[in-house]
Amino acid sequence: MDTDVLVVGAGPTGLMLANQLVRRGVRVVIIDRHARPALQSRALGVQPRTLEIYAKLGIVDRALELGKPGTGVNLWAQGRKLARVPFGQAGHDVTPYPFILILGQDDNERIMGDKLRELGLAVQWNTELVGLAQEGDKVTATLKLAGGTRRAIVAAWVAGCDGAHSSVRELSGITFPGAPYEHVFFVADTEATGSMIADEVNVYLWREGFHLLFPMRGKDHWRIVGILPPSLRRDDVKFESVIPSLRKEAGAELLFKACTWFSTYRIHHRAAARFRDRRCFLLGDAAHIHSPVGAQGMNTGLQDAYNLAWKLALVVKDRADAALLDSYEEERIPVARFLLNTTDRGFRLAVSDSWLAGLFRTEVIARVVAFAMSRERFQKVAFRLVSQTGIRYRKSALSRSLEGLPESAPGAGDRFPWLRLKFRTDGSVEDLFQKLDDTHFNLIVLGQPAPSEGALDLGGLLRVHLIPADPINDAELARAQIPKPSFYLLRPDGHVGLCGTRIDAAAVKQYVSANLHLRV
């Protein structure tokens, strides 16, 4: 076997997966058919859940340094600002990062690439996957190198992080049903001044569509995304041609000093019929593509990688049976389908050509959004949805709630809430997420003694956190609706695997072998 895992594609998804596998001691080869990383920024919004994962990987400070926290969205229609939707207020007790970080995909890739090199692995550029053959416990991949030479590499597992035109998907015979949207979009990175509210996302709604202006690093730098007017649908269209329609909708005071990148593209909404064929997995755009509504695309790929990495590492290291890997598809396909449905609905409303939809867009949407966002409950629901902190796997075979916990408490499959707790009665308040070790399982014990050493021996895979009785802890637990006594066994990715009231070592052991398929 040449390697444990061959990661195909060094976009954001492949880089995240390679990082997560290498830091868990897995042998990885990562290839990309291009000669170097992409220079275009493409995706711009990094969601809070991704920042939490970046924190565990040790790259969040660099991301925060390079990015710009988006503090709100302003909705404009017919030259008037109709509403401002603040980010963050609803998320300040949900996550340490209650904002969308505006940071280009190129910067995200650079940060993850640097981290991977620091961990001792370099991307093999100019290396394209052109063939796959699965046989027993191995996959033989044929790679085409620069100059056309071919070589074979044998891997135990292959991860297709190779984008919308995935070779892994095609070579595995997995279909990619869906369709393109009829509209053509443009994206431009510009230096501009105008009515836009600085450092915030500005959405200009108009009868025939919308323009989105995202603040980028540097003074007066804006990423503009919009629908290309039908009269301009030709191959040689330039940014200058779209300026008149932009100024018509976003105001005549909109002035452009420079445009450093302009591209047009069509958007598809598709999801792979399966995310796995035996030893080959699909992640990121290889598995699902959808409209950019909500800035979810890149983030969803990164979380596919975070979901698969710990499972694959345990199987590669012979600590778990391969059955654990069945949960990857089981957990991530519903996330992708939900995303496709919600972004599709939102997107159709945003681009519909009908007169009624146009009226709805300019007259009704902004007012409805402004009203809804003044309601705290709606703000919280919207925050959890967009920030991806609300993603949960309640129906997964890995999720098991023992009897006794109230409905309102966090349940099996949920991302365990972010808490600030005292871990010693004489200590200071600490961030739970910083205490959790994402290369291990974490057992949180509340209102009862920790199990004796040996009673829960997971062969060194478990970290136990006993939360002492303390008024500060009690208030924090009440806020998160966590009762006492209770216990939460967290998976390495921070989702609850098993939970209940009194710890029962036999039930934990049964869960660990029957649900997690661990060899302990």
Ligand X SMILES: Cc1cc2nc3c(=O)[nH]c(=O)nc-3n(C[C@H](O)[C@H](O)[C@H](O)COP(=O)(O)OP(=O)(O)OC[C@H]3O[C@@H](n4cnc5c(N)ncnc54)[C@H](O)[C@@H]3O)c2cc1C
* List of residues contacting ligand X (CB under 6 A): 8-14, 31-34, 42-45, 105, 128-129, 161-163, 167, 187, 263, 265, 284-285, 292, 295-298, 301
Q: Which contacts (CB < 8 Å, 24+ apart) does range 458-466 have?
A: 458/512, 458/518, 458/520, 459/319, 459/518, 459/519, 459/520, 461/319, 461/518, 461/520, 463/436, 463/437, 465/423, 465/432, 465/435, 465/436, 466/423
The Cα 161–Cα 184 span in angstroms is 25
3-state secondary structure of 196: coil
Q: How far is CA 472 from the centre of its chain?
A: 32
For the chain, the C-alpha Rg in angstroms (whole number) is 24
Judged by beta carbon, residue 161 or residue 205, the one nearer ligand X is 161
Please identify, using beta-carbon distances, which residue of 259 and 466 lies nearer to ligand X.
Answer: 259
Residue 172 C-beta: closest distance to ligand X, Å: 12
Report in angstroms how near the CB of residue 294 gets to ligand X at its nearest.
8
CA atoms of 209 and 294, how far apart (whole Å)? 16
Q: How far is CA 264 from CA 41, 187, 239, 319, 360, in A?
A: 14, 6, 10, 47, 27
- Judged by CB, which is closer to ligand X: 261, or 378? 261
Give yes or no for a contact between 159 and 14, defined as CB atoms under 8 angstroms apart: yes
Whose Cβ is closer to ligand X: residue 39's or residue 475's?
A: 39
Which of 448, 456, 466, 441 has its CA nearest to residue 502? 448
Residue nearer to ligand X on the CB measure, 280 or 512? 280
Residue 29's SS3 state is strand
Find the shortest distance in angstroms from Cβ 235 to ligand X.
16
Q: Which is nearer to ligand X, 31 or 309 (CB)?
A: 31
Least distance CB 448 / ligand X (angstroms): 43
Rounded Cα distance, 501 and 447, in Å: 9
CB of 128 to ligand X, least distance (A): 4
Residue 228 beta carbon to ligand X: minimum distance, rounded to whole angstroms: 12
- Least CB distance to ligand X at residue 76 (A): 19
Closest distance between ligand X and the C-beta of residue 344, in Å? 15
Write the CB contacts of 369 (distance below 8 Å, at least 6 apart in sequence). Answer: 75, 83, 85
| Closer residue to ligand X, CB minimum distance, 297 or 500 | 297
Q: Which is nearer to ligand X, 143 or 490 (CB)?
A: 143
CA–CA distance, 133 with 357 (Å, rounded to integer): 50
Length of the chain: 520
Q: Which is closer to ligand X, CB of 11 or CB of 194?
A: 11
Beta strands in 194-254 (DSSP E): 201-206, 209-215, 221-227
Nearer to ligand X, 265 or 371 (CB): 265
Least distance in angstroms from the C-beta of 111 to ligand X: 14
Q: Which residues pair with 199 in a beta bridge?
A: none
**Counting runs of H as helices and runs of E as strands, what totals does the chain give?**
14, 25
What is the helix, strand, coil percentage profile of the chain, to 5?
35, 30, 35
Per the listing, tokens 């919207």 go with 382
Residues 6+ apart with CB under 8 A from 107: 41, 63, 66, 67
- Closer residue to ligand X, CB minimum distance, 170 or 321: 170
To ligand X, the closest distance from the beta carbon of 187 in angstroms equals 5
> Could you tell me the smallest distance in angstroms from the CB atom of residue 61 to ligand X?
22
DSSP-based three-state secondary structure for 175: coil
